[in-house]
Amino acid sequence: MVNAIRTTFLLAVLTGLFMAIGFVIGGQGGMMLALLMALMMNLFSFWNSDKIVLRMQNAKAISYQQSPDLHEMVDRLSQNAGIPSPKIYLIQSDQPNAFATGRNPENAAVAVSTGLIKLLNYDEIEGVVAHELAHIRSRDTLTMTITATLAGAISMLAQFGLFFGARNNNSPIGPIGSILMVIVAPLAALLVQMAVSRVREYEADRDGAEICGNPEALARALDKISNYAKQIANPYARRAPGMAHMFIINPLVGQRGDNLFSTHPDVKNRIKALMDMAQSMQIAQNDQWPRSRHIEAQQAGQTTHRAGAAGWRVPSTTSDQDEQDNSSKGPWG
């Protein structure tokens, strides 16, 4: 019920922004046109925003043959979460990160980056995937996908107003309206970030830790991802900053604390909450990787790494024909 109210409120606010910008551009007629555009885009976003988001990140689907270990992990965690197994996508980015998308658990997807696969060990990837499955189970993904799509559309409409506002005689504000458009666009982006409550990240951390049964692994993953995200840029996220709130860690410039305009809670606070949870679950902190498992040496095409070390190889996203032509390379490329 809370997520339904949140989604309805978000759509209403974004529709109002569309109408306000349309009024500045073309008066009452422009406002009605913007309303019609908003209604059509809301409907389109509901059914297709997940596909748009994945395409914006240049994410490619991964089959079971390309990554059996990852699929088996997702299947097992999905069973723990009590939801259908989502589709799995790979983002070609050196920045370690991940996000979930989809209008409901039956039409969901989890996307992980090549950087995340390379950096984290099995248990840590498991924690990240469990976090994303928690978002899917709570249907946060509906809010996030619609937000990401409409945020970019509002910015584009604001730029349109900047170009035509001072030149359109029907505009009731004229040049002043053009200036307002410059202000409205970034404020709209902030509003979108605020609309998706940061509390959901704490909830997804907690629920994800319960799904995978290892809060410490998720805490270590958050620590690693946040450190590397500050050093490695995500070009797809930079081109679509309205998507930043969808990732497990902000892919843009890192926030410095729990302030009013953060899209994510402070990572240190999230890690502390997870470590407190681990202690309450009586997980020994000295036993760093109690359930660590890695890719089989024969399957990975390399020797097995020691416990706690990153041992995953990036799944190949080539076609079946390419796989046949390169069968000697193994399922992990």
**pLDDT digits 0-9 by tens, 68-107:** 999 999 999 999 999 999 999 999 999 999 999 988 999 9
- Residue 93 identity (one-letter amino acid): S
Domain residues of the chain, as ranges? 2-280, 297-329
Contact call for residues 74 and 110 (beta carbons, < 8 A): yes
**Number of Cβ atoms within 10 Å of the Cβ of 205:** 26
At residue 267, the pLDDT reads 92
At 129, give phi and psi (nearest 5°).
Answer: -60, -40
135 is in an annotated binding site: yes
How large is the average pLDDT for residues 118-146? 90
The three-state DSSP-derived secondary structure of the chain is CHHHHHHHHHHHHHHHHHHHHHHHHHHHHHHHHHHHHHHHHHHHHHHHHHHHHHHHCCEEECCCCCCHHHHHHHHHHHHHHCCCCCEEEEECCCCCCEEEEECCHHHEEEEEEHHHHHHCCHHHHHHHHHHHHHHHHCCHHHHHHHHHHHHHHHHHHHHHHHHHCCCCCCCCCCHHHHHHHHHHHHHHHHHHHHHCCCHHHHHHHHHHHHHHCCHHHHHHHHHHHHHHHCCCCCHHHHHCHHHHHHECCCCCCCCCCCCCCCCCCCHHHHHHHHHHHHHHCCCCCCCCCCCCCCCCHHHHCCCCCCCCCCCCCCCCCCCHHHHHHCHHHCCCC
- Is 132 annotated in the active site? yes
User: What pLDDT is recorded for position 28?
Assistant: 73
For the cut 70, the answer to whether the pLDDT of residue 235 exceeds it is: yes
Is 131 annotated to bind a ligand? Reply is yes
Report the alpha-carbon distance of residue 99 to residue 50 in Å, rounded.
11
Residue 167 has pLDDT above 60, yes or no: no
- Partners of residue 113 on adjacent β-strands: 91
**Confidence category of residue 333, pLDDT binned at 50, 70, 90:** very low
What pLDDT score was predicted for residue 290?
Answer: 45
From 72, 106, 126, 132, active-site residue: 132
Residue 117 reports pLDDT greater than 90: yes
| pTM confidence score | 0.74
Percent share of the chain, pLDDT over 90: 35
Does the pLDDT value for residue 225 go beyond 60? yes
d(CA 266, CA 235) in angstroms, rounded, equals 23
For residues 211 and 42, what is the distance between their CA atoms, to the nearest angstrom? 32
Residue 149 pLDDT greater than 90, yes or no: no
Report the C-alpha dihedral over residues 219, 221, 225, 227, rounded to 10 degrees.
60
305 is in an annotated binding site: no
Poorest-confidence range of 82-96, 148-162, 290-304? Answer: 290-304
